Each structure stands twice: as structure tokens, then as C-alpha cells.
């Protein structure tokens, strides 16, 4: 803290060096031009040293280093801004005092020097601010879209801009702390490879998403698992089709992976409808001999009553129009034969009840399930904040889409309890928004799942 205050004071002087020379000259505190010029170069050097290239620390990653330097620059900006306001107020008062007895050309020179000092200070502060802001604005994960938009909209309003700047610094500072601790934890246990399960892990996505190459459905989870020794594959089934169709695709994918790698079996971790697709692949399409375990995450094994309600209420023409638009779009994204309505129908309570009678668990496979829930609508991002009240009315305690009771399946059921008023939504369980949730580390949650599978011989 003391070093930062000293840096802020030095930077404040560096930012206002022309104004300080103006004050020294008007007060006749320097004997000559040479000394004033030397001081000017010294002040400018201080600004360049601290304000343009902040001191680099031994941060573990490039991202953390950029965020750390950005926060440091913005804190120094706030300190130097306070100093700048004081110095410029004094300089303005001195200039006015000198201008009171009108002196013709001399008055013009005084005004010019003061304005140059003011302009230099404004430009220097702008360089300092943007040097820090651009670092956090384009690198931070936790700022999110909302805070970025608000910062742009209100960044020009005095008072509000300082409030949002302080908020952004706090968010990024917390992010730096969390990511540093995460890196240290991974480094400490790297040799143990706690996620190096006997069989590779197959991550199976839910409905309305695909396994895009550059937009991972599972957020930061796969990278965290791999850091700790896990071997990861992806389901790559269609984004929206019937459980039967997706199950057939998954079974083929499972066979291909096991044959090409010689791994024998896979541990499946499946989210949402992906859990139903995985069960179909195992019990209907012959993938049982290639699967060691199935862990479902927020999967509607008993369906969603609210989905049935919506299908009954939405006019048929509207349903068909929505389906046609979706199917056309997803074909362009790579789905060979998307079927929006088939996917939605297979999530209804009646359809799931019927399928459960026809889809027994395969012997010899470990079936387990995980679920979370929200405590209020605001716990989930759009559109989960809108669907939450409707799901609660029909299905009870839920994650914004799936009820707790619907997700219960297998020999062990784990309920991820919210630590505060926020809750853990359907999207939070796959790190959809890449958000660090206080009291729930989703990446560490999956590390513990994989570590537990390894411990039990899977």
C-alpha cells in the first residue's frame, strides 16, 4: 500500500510536470531555464516509467499479469487524478492572479503556459486511464457483458464513471485472487494427476447446443480437468433431436473412441438432455459394454411438466414456425437432421415416464446424478430468470429449467447447495457464463467428481 501511494504521488507529479514548472516560474523558485528543463525531463521520465510500463510482478500466467497491471494502473490513475485536481486548481488560481493586472503580451504568455500545462495533464491522465482500462476490458472474464456495457454507457457521466471504475477494479481484483489461488492449487497437485481416471471422460452436452471447436459448452471445466490429468472427449451429437436419434449417434461415437484409442471403456459425464441421450446409447444401442460409469448433471430424468404446459398452450403454427427457424439455422451450423419439436417433446413428463419404463439401467455400470437449484429468479441469467417461476409453479425447487426431483437418478445423488441467496442455475453447472460464484467453484466441483471416480477405480 505504501509503495502504491509513493508511486501515485510520483505519478501525479509526472502527469502535471508542465503545470508544476509554470508554478515554479511564476513564483520565481528556479534560477534558470536549464534547471526547469532538467526538472521537466525528470518528471516526464517518472510518468513514462510508472504510467506506461508498470512494474511487472511474478504472476503465474500472462492473463493474470495483464489484469494485475491493468488494476494497478487504474488505482494509480485514481491517486494521480486527485493530485492533478489539486495542482491544476492551484495553477488556475495562480494564472488568474497573474492575469488580473492586464499586461498585454505577458498575460497572453501566462495564459498559454497554463493551458499547455492543463492540456498535458489531461492527455497524460487519459493515457494512464486507457492503458489500464484496455488491459482489463479485453482480458477479464468476470467483468461480463453487463458491466462492460454499463461502463461504456455511464463512463462519461461525472460521479457514475468513478463508481463504475471502482466496481470494475473490485471485480477484476477478485478475479486475480481466485485465478492465482486456482493456479497455485493446480501447481501443487500437478504430479498427483488427481483426475487421471482409469477410463477417459466423455463430456456429453445438453439440448440446443453443440460441441463447437472455439466455443466450449463446458466453459473452463475441460481445461481444468486436463490440467489435473484427465483425458477428455466430447459427445458431438446433434444439438436438438429426439433422445433416440441422439442416443444412436452417441453410441456410435462411444464405439469409435474406444476402438481407436484402445481404452476399453469411458466414463460419461452428461449435462441436461445429454444424460437422457447417454442412457439411450447405453440401453438401446449397445454402448453398455463400452461404458464404465454415467454421471448425469441436472438431467430431467422424469421430465419437465412446464415443457408439457408450454407445448399445449403455444399454437401449432407458432410451434412449427419456431421449429422450422431453428432447424434451418442449425443445419447451417453442422447438424445433419435437427428436429426441434422432437427434442422438446422428449423432455415432457409424460414422454420421460414412458421412456423410463422402456429404458432400464444396464447392469455393471455405475449410475450417479448431480443437481443444483436456484433460490430466486435472479439466480439465473436470461432466459433462466424468466423460466424459473414457471418451473417452480409446475415442478417445484429447480435450477431454472429442471426440478430437483426430476434429476435424481442412480445409486448416488449429489445436491449442490447454494451457499448464499444466489443459487446455482442450470447454466452455472456447466460454467456457461464463465462466472466465479462465491461459495461454489464449478471447476473444482468437476475435479472432485473425476478424482472420486479415479479413487473408486473408474
**pLDDT, tens digit, 9 for 90 and up, residues 24-36:** 777 665 555 555 5
* pLDDT at residue 82 greater than cutoff 70: yes
Give, for 203, the enclosing helix (H) or strand (E): strand 201-204
Query: Given this model, what pLDDT does residue 33 score?
Result: 58
Q: pLDDT for 406-437, tens place per residue?
A: 999 999 999 998 777 888 999 999 999 999 99
* pLDDT at residue 101 greater than cutoff 90: no
Question: Other C-beta atoms within 10 Å of 10: how many?
Answer: 20
What are 114's three cell numbers?
497554463
Question: Other C-beta atoms within 10 Å of 64: how many?
Answer: 19
* Segment 88-116 mean pLDDT: 72
* pLDDT at residue 102 greater than cutoff 60: no
SS3 state at 199: coil
What are 185's three cell numbers?
492449487
Rounded to whole angstroms, how far apart are CA atoms 458 and 447?
Answer: 14
Exposed e or buried b for every residue in 110-121, given b needs 16+ CB within 10 A?
Answer: beebbeebbebb
* Segment 140-146 mean pLDDT: 92
Confidence of residue 111 (pLDDT cuts 50, 70, 90): confident
Query: Given this model, what pLDDT does residue 440 score?
Result: 92
Lowest mean pLDDT among 254-258, 306-310, 373-377, 398-402: 306-310
Q: pLDDT for 298-309, tens place per residue?
A: 999 999 887 777
Residue with cell 417461476: 389
3-state helix, strand, coil in the chain (%, to 5): 60, 10, 30
Question: Other C-beta atoms within 10 Å of 189: how many?
Answer: 16
Tell me which DSSP letter residue 302 carries. Answer: T
Burial of residue 457, with CB atoms counted within 10 A of its CB: 0-12 exposed, 13-18 middle, 19 or more buried: exposed
Per the CB < 8 A criterion, the answer to whether 128 and 80 are in contact is yes
* 34 vs 163, more confident: 163
Rounded to whole angstroms, how far apart are CA atoms 59 and 62?
Answer: 7
Question: Other C-beta atoms within 10 Å of 98: how many?
Answer: 18
Lowest mean pLDDT among 22-31, 91-100, 389-398: 22-31
* pLDDT at residue 336 greater than cutoff 60: yes
Per the CB < 8 A criterion, the answer to whether 251 and 286 are in contact is yes
* pLDDT at residue 7 greater than cutoff 70: no
Q: pLDDT for 263-282, tens place per residue?
A: 999 999 999 999 999 999 99
Rounded to whole angstroms, how far apart are CA atoms 91 and 70?
Answer: 30
Query: Given this model, what pLDDT does residue 106 score?
Result: 55
Query: Given this model, what pLDDT does residue 320 score?
Result: 86
Q: pLDDT for 174-229, tens place per residue?
A: 999 999 999 999 999 999 999 999 999 999 999 988 888 778 999 999 999 999 99
* pLDDT at residue 105 greater than cutoff 50: no
Burial of residue 147, with CB atoms counted within 10 A of its CB: 0-12 exposed, 13-18 middle, 19 or more buried: middle
Rounded to whole angstroms, how far apart are CA atoms 421 and 357?
Answer: 38
Question: Other C-beta atoms within 10 Å of 26: how many?
Answer: 16
Rounded to whole angstroms, how far apart are CA atoms 154 and 169?
Answer: 16
Backbone phi and psi for residue 297, each to the nearest 5 degrees, phi listed first: -115, 115
SS3 state at 297: strand
Rounded to whole angstroms, how far apart are CA atoms 284 and 278?
Answer: 10
H-only helix segments in 55-199: 62-99, 105-139, 144-154, 160-189
Question: Other C-beta atoms within 10 Å of 299: how many?
Answer: 28
Residue with cell 501511494: 5
Mean pLDDT taken over the chain: 87
Backbone phi and psi for residue 26, each to the nearest 5 degrees, phi listed first: -70, -25
Q: pLDDT for 218-276, tens place per residue?
A: 999 999 999 999 999 999 999 999 999 999 999 999 999 999 999 999 999 999 999 99
Amino acid at each position: 500500500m505504501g509503495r502504491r501511494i509513493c508511486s501515485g504521488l510520483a505519478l501525479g507529479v509526472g502527469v502535471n510536470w508542465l503545470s508544476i514548472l509554470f508554478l515554479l516560474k511564476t513564483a520565481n523558485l528556479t534560477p534558470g531555464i536549464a534547471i526547469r528543463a532538467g526538472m521537466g525531463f525528470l518528471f516526464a521520465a517518472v510518468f513514462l516509467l510508472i504510467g506506461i510500463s508498470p512494474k511487472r510482478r511474478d504472476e503465474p500466467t500472462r492473463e493474470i499479469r495483464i489484469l494485475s497491471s491493468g488494476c494497478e494502473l487504474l488505482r494509480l490513475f485514481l491517486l494521480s487524478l486527485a493530485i492533478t485536481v489539486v495542482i491544476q486548481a492551484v495553477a488556475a488560481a495562480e494564472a488568474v492572479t497573474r492575469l488580473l493586472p492586464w499586461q498585454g503580451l505577458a498575460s497572453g504568455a501566462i495564459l498559454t503556459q497554463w493551458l499547455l500545462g492543463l492540456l498535458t495533464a489531461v492527455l497524460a491522465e487519459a493515457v494512464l486511464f486507457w492503458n489500464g482500462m484496455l488491459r482489463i476490458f479485453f482480458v477479464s472474464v468476470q467483468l461480463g457483458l453487463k458491466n462492460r456495457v454499463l461502463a461504456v454507457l455511464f463512463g462519461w457521466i461525472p460521479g457514475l464513471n468513478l463508481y463504475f471504475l471502482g466496481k470494475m477494479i473490485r471485480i477484476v481484483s477478485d478475479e486475480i485472487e481466485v485465478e492465482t489461488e486456482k493456479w497455485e492449487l493446480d501447481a501443487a497437485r500437478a504430479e498427483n494427476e488427481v483426475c487421471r481416471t482409469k477410463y477417459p471422460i466423455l463430456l456429453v452436452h445438453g439440448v440446443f447446443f453443440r460441441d463447437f471447436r472455439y466455443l466450449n459448452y463446458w466453459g473452463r471445466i475441460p481445461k481444468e480437468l486436463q490440467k489435473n490429468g484427465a483425458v477428455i472427449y466430447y459427445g458431438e451429437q446433434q444439438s436438438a433431436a429426439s433422445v433416440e436419434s441422439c442416443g444412436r449417434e452417441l453410441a456410435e461415437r462411444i464405439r469409435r473412441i474406444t476402438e481407436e484409442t484402445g481404452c476399453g471403456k469411458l466414463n460419461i459425464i452428461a449435462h441436461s438432455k445429454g444424460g437422457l441421450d447417454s442412457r439411450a446409447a447405453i440401453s438401446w444401442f449397445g454402448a453398455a459394454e463400452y461404458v464404465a460409469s454415467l454421471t448425469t448433471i441436472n438431467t430431467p430424468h422424469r421430465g419437465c411438466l412446464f415443457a408439457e404446459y408450454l407445448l399445449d398452450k403455444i399454437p401449432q403454427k407458432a410451434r412449427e414456425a419456431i421449429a422450422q427457424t431453428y432447424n434451418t439455422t442449425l443445419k447451417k451450423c453442422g447438424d445433419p437432421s435437427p428436429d426441434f419439436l422432437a427434442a422438446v417433446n422428449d423432455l415432457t413428463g409424460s414422454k420421460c415416464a414412458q421412456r423410463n419404463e422402456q429404458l432400464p439401467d444396464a447392469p455393471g455400470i455405475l449410475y450417479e446424478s448431480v443437481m443444483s437449484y436456484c433460490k430466486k429468479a435472479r439466480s439465473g441469467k436470461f432466459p433462466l430468470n424468466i423460466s424459473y417461476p414457471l418451473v417452480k409453479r409446475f415442478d417445484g425447487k429447480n435450477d431454472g429449467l429442471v426440478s430437483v426431483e426430476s434429476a435424481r437418478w442412480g445409486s448416488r445423488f449429489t445436491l449442490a447447495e447454494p451457499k448464499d441467496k444466489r443459487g446455482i442455475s442450470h447454466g452455472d453447472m456447466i460454467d456457461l457464463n464463465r462466472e466465479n460464484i462465491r461459495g461454489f467453484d464449478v471447476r473444482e466441483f468437476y475435479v472432485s467428481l473425476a478424482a472420486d471416480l479415479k479413487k473408486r477405480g473408474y
